[in-house]
Amino acid sequence: MVKKDTALGTGTMADRITDDEFERRMYSHDIAPLPKEMEAIFNTMPDFVVRPKSAKEVSNIIHVAQRKKLPVIPRGGASWGLGGCIPVKGGILLDMSTMDNIIEIDGDNLTATVEAGITWKKLCDTLERKGYFLGAYPSSAPSATVAGWINTGGVGIGTYKYGGAGDMIRNMEVVLPNGDIINTGFDYVMPNGSGYNLNWLFVGSEGTLGVVTKVTFKIYPAPEKFESISYSFNNLKQVGAAIHDITRAPINPFHMGFGDAMHYEYLRKVGIKAPKVGSLLTVTFEGAKEIVKYEEKVVDSIIAKHGGKSLGTEVGAHEWSSRSYEFKVRKMGLGAIPGEILVPMNTFSKVLDDTAKLIKKMKLKVPMIGSVADRNSVMVMPYYLTDKRKFVRSLTTMGFNKKFADIAFKHNGRPVGLGLFFACNVEKMFGREGSNLMHEIKSAIDPNDIMNPGKLVRTTTGFGFDAPGFAMNMGLGLLASVRSLLPRDTFGEKK
């Protein structure tokens, strides 16, 4: 290990750098419950934790990391769960949550400029107080940071109408792996026109190309009316038929989120008020009063045509206020691990069939939630509970995510995140040539592979060598097969 005083601990930053073992351990995992035994494969303990306060400080740290050939791992709220902010071979962990200031809200140009470690909730609440509105944000807004969601290329609340993380960005300040500080876009106008779109290069890059330190978003005037209505259905297939027709109608709701019977049953089991339904779709409308009224009328009639029943605005308001707390169900196990895929509207029903078969084969209990991401993309997010004390069970259940991604590929879709374990999907997603280009981009920007190594383009072990994609694919497939031989899940059942 590099000694703190020789490498980093000088000047005004000294009190924000630590090599204390307890603190380093706190930063050796994210929200997902990885079995402790994984530490035999990955060196998840950072050598240092640093809490920077400016892009200049990040740049200084990166210069040290280059000299010492140490990995640099950016971390936001650690709420992703795919291991993106977990070290694989130690290094310098950058806790970006200390950079959480609002720099400027510019009502004249309709922009908000913030430090990258601010949470979405802090930003949205501030904008609301000033009469503005940000299009989209992840449902984990209370803990997720703006740069965390940007780096996962996320899909979330409001994405249907306003796009994902990348669609809202005007400009970013990014510290590159050579320490240079760059701007990726333009503060006041869209990035359209000639030139590689650097904003989008960093969206979904999982912290492998640089550290985002500042972001300028476009913002909107606050809507006149905001209202959610919940609709009950017998099952998710009926929901699928209804959302198909809503997306084909000339209206533009703000958000559509759904969940199945097991999800609401789990919520009730952990003491949260939740409707007793076969499935629930909550549609949120936003805009001028007259437009909201018209859109609600159109949606009501589509829902009725597909056998849905309106539960009204009271249940809608409750669902809306609970939108950030769907994973409280993890109290039933020791943690909940989500799978996340995007599939086209016309294969959603087949995806549900294949997923049901997979769940049965692997003997799991898997509630399903999801949202409509755009007019032809459905985000399907099943999750399973785990108890990491049961090593074999929790390890083998990870095979579900691999098999679930295969279902997405089969039905013209894609898995959403890659993180620590699923770099083996890159070639399946982008083809060999596309995957090669991604490796070349990574090598060109980060020739020494110091920036969040072992994520997105490759899985790197703590011993320094990469696990080949085909081996990861086979290994994860094998885990799924072993899980099928184990007893079925009994989470939430009376013993």
Ligand X SMILES: Cc1cc2nc3c(=O)[nH]c(=O)nc-3n(C[C@H](O)[C@H](O)[C@H](O)COP(=O)(O)OP(=O)(O)OC[C@H]3O[C@@H](n4cnc5c(N)ncnc54)[C@H](O)[C@@H]3O)c2cc1C
Kindly tell me the burial class for residue 464, based on how many C-beta atoms sit within 10 Å of its own C-beta (0-12, 13-18, 19 or more). Answer: exposed
Identity of the residue numbered 39: E
Beta carbon of residue 78, minimum distance to ligand X (angstroms, whole number):
4
Residue 46 interacts with ligand X (CB under 6 A): yes or no: no
Residue nearer to ligand X on the CB measure, 113 or 238: 113
Interface with ligand X, residue 52, by CB under 6 A: no
Q: Which residue has the tokens 């691990």?
A: 337
How far apart are alpha carbons 20 and 472 in whole angstroms? 33
**Binding segment for ligand X among 192-200, 205-213, 217-225, 292-300 (CB under 6 A)?**
205-213
Binding mask 8-37 for ligand X (x = CB under 6 A): ----------------------xx------
CB-nearer residue toward ligand X: 114 or 212: 212
- Find the binder of ligand X among 35, 74, 91, 253 (CB under 6 A): 74
Smallest distance from the beta carbon of 474 to ligand X, in angstroms?
Answer: 25
Closer to ligand X by Cβ: residue 302 or 378: 378
Q: Does 279 bind ligand X (CB under 6 A)?
A: no
- Asked if 207 interacts with ligand X (CB under 6 A), we say yes
Q: What is the DSSP letter of 331?
A: G
Structure tokens at 182: 């760059």
Q: Using CB under 6 A, which of 154, 240, 370, 469 touches ligand X? A: 154
* 401 binds ligand X, rule: CB under 6 A: no
| 214 near ligand X, judged by CB under 6 A | no
Separation in Å, CA 171 to CA 164, 183, 195, 469: 15, 7, 14, 34
Q: Which residues contact 28 (CB under 8 A, 6 or more apart)?
A: 39, 44, 45, 46, 86, 87
Q: Identify which of residues 76 and 240 has a Cβ nearer to ligand X in the complex.
A: 76
Minimum CB distance to ligand X, residue 484 (Å): 27
Q: Single out the segment in contact with ligand X by CB under 6 A; choices: 206-214, 233-241, 297-305, 428-436.
A: 206-214
Instruction: Tell which positions 323-362 bind ligand X, by CB under 6 A.
Output: 326-327
Q: Which helix (H) or strand (E) element contains residue 244? A: helix 236-247
Minimal distance in Å, beta carbon 139 to ligand X? 4
Which 3-state string (H, E, C) describes 99-136?
CCCEEEEECCCCEEEEECCCEHHHHHHHHHHCCEECCC
Identify the DSSP state of 487: P
324 HSE (CA, 13 A, CB side): 12
**Interaction pattern, residues 108-147, with ligand X; x per rule: CB under 6 A:** --------x---------------------xxx---xx-x
DSSP for residue 36: G
DSSP E strand stretches across 164-224:
169-175, 181-183, 211-218, 220-221
Burial bucket for residue 448 (CB in 10 Å: 0-12, 13-18, 19+)? middle
Total of chain residues touching ligand X, rule CB under 6 A: 34
β-pair type (181-183, 220-221): unpaired
Q: According to CB under 6 A, which one of 279, 452, 459, 473 is a site residue for ligand X?
A: 452
Interaction between residue 267 and ligand X (CB under 6 A)? no
List residues near ligand X by CB under 6 A: 30-31, 74-80, 84-85, 96, 116, 138-140, 144-145, 147-149, 151-152, 154-156, 206-207, 211-212, 326-327, 452, 455
